Amino acid sequence: MKVTPIQDGFGAEISGVDLSKPIPDDTFEALHLAIDEAGVVMFQDQVLSDIDLVEFSQRLGPLEQPLKRDQYGGIDERVTMLANVDDDGNLIKLSDKHGIYMKGNLLWHSDSSFKPVPCTYSVLSAKEVPSEGGKTEFADLRACYDDWEGPYGDIEKEELEDLVCEHSIIYSRSLISGDIFSDQEKKEMSPQRQPLVRTHPRTGRKVYYVGSHCSHVEGWPVEKGRALVRELSGFCVRPDHIYSHRWKPNDLVIWDNRSVLHRGRTYDPTQRRIMHRATVGGDGPLL
Ligand code: OGA
Ligand code: MN
């Protein structure tokens, strides 16, 4: 196995390992360390069935249950579908209900930060990709925490350490998709409290745990909290701290939602894009 850094301390390409085959423990541990170090890693030419994807991803930890909306196209029930193709193989239009819902992925986010127990790693496997566009971008939240000096208004950086934010997918989708959820879904996906500063248990590194689902700061006027979240998210996505992945079929990218923000980019909606994602669940609530 070979690990080739992409940028200084952020992103790596890993080669010389077949993720569809059993991986010896010592190689797996080296792989796990490389993911933690880089925040996002990419592999080429990985032909994986859903079962292979699940089996590999489970070694990083027990998987999270996908949202019902993200289960279609005959996908394994432990895997999230990200595709503009429906159960019958027809293209989903951007103006269709599911097309509007999927627009949420265009905003910088950390997967499932709106859930009571947020996830850790996302493992995304590309099946079919458009000939251009449709990249996925990653930004380093750790460098954001380390480099952002504050103050925010009259509030010093140190004073932000113990703040709590409200995260909600109802909120984040309202920013780009409108009011798309049923009353039942709104009940099931009520806002969740998360720490503004999330510490990575394996590396000890800290991040500002922001992104689109992060709405506002508990105990602050809503607009003041939203402005802080915008400031920190904006600082995180500085162009020189972004890795932009241009997909080929059978690329596989693993990112750590504790270390990076990510977003999808637009593409020609008449072309097919099919991606399957396994998501590793967290150990428990962060607070
Ligand atoms: C995801 C995601 C963006 C993309 O898989 O969680 O946000 O480019 N993907 O498909
Ligand atoms: Mn995502």
Task: Please tell me the predicted confidence (pLDDT) of residue 256.
Answer: 98
Strands (E), 178-232: 192-195, 197-199, 206-208, 214-217
> Ligand 1: which atom is nearest the Cα of residue 80?
5
pTM of the model: 0.97
> Ligand 1: which atom is nearest the Cα of residue 134?
8
| 3-state SS, one letter per residue, for 111-166 | CCCCCCCCCCEEEEEEEECCCCECCEEEEEHHHHHHHCCCCECCECHHHHCCCEEE
What ligand is nearest to the CA atom of residue 247?
1
Task: Please tell me the predicted confidence (pLDDT) of residue 72.
Answer: 93
Span from the CA of 262 to the centroid of ligand 2 (angstroms):
6
Task: Please tell me the predicted confidence (pLDDT) of residue 189.
Answer: 95
Residue 31: how many CA atoms within 13 Å on its side-chain side? 23
Q: Whose CA is nearest to atom 3 of ligand 1?
A: 264
Q: Which residues line ligand 1 (CB under 6 A)?
A: 82, 105, 111, 122, 124, 136, 262, 264, 275, 277
Chain segment 52-94, per-residue pLDDT in tens: 999 999 999 999 999 999 999 889 999 999 999 999 999 999 9
Span from the CA of 20 to the centroid of ligand 2 (angstroms):
23
Q: Which residues are CB-contacts of 28 (< 8 A; sequence separation ≥ 6)?
A: 59
What ligand is nearest to the CA atom of residue 251?
1
Rounded Cα distance, 111 and 279, in Å? 9
Cα–Cα nearest to 245, from 11, 77, 3: 11
The dihedrals phi and psi of 158, each to the nearest 5 degrees, come to -60, -30
Task: Please tell me the predicted confidence (pLDDT) of residue 119.
Answer: 98
Residues of the chain scoring pLDDT < 70? none
Task: Please tell me the predicted confidence (pLDDT) of residue 164.
Answer: 98
Alpha-carbon dihedral sign for residues 24, 53, 76, 115: positive
Q: Which of 57, 82, 176 to mutate to test the pocket of ligand 1 (most atoms within 8 A of CB)?
A: 82
Task: Please tell me the predicted confidence (pLDDT) of residue 214.
Answer: 98
Span from the CA of 263 to the centroid of ligand 1 (angstroms):
6
Task: Please tell me the predicted confidence (pLDDT) of residue 141.
Answer: 98
Span from the CA of 161 to the centroid of ligand 2 (angstroms):
25
CATH number of the domain located at residue range(s) 2-279 in this protein: 3.60.130.10
Strand order in the sheet with 260-264: 242-245, 136-140, 260-264
Span from the CA of 13 to the centroid of ligand 1 (angstroms):
18
> Ligand 1: which atom is nearest the Cα of residue 109?
7
Q: Whose CA is nearest to atom 7 of ligand 1?
A: 105
Span from the CA of 188 to the centroid of ligand 1 (angstroms):
22
Span from the CA of 124 to the centroid of ligand 1 (angstroms):
8
> Ligand 1: which atom is nearest the Cα of residue 275?
10
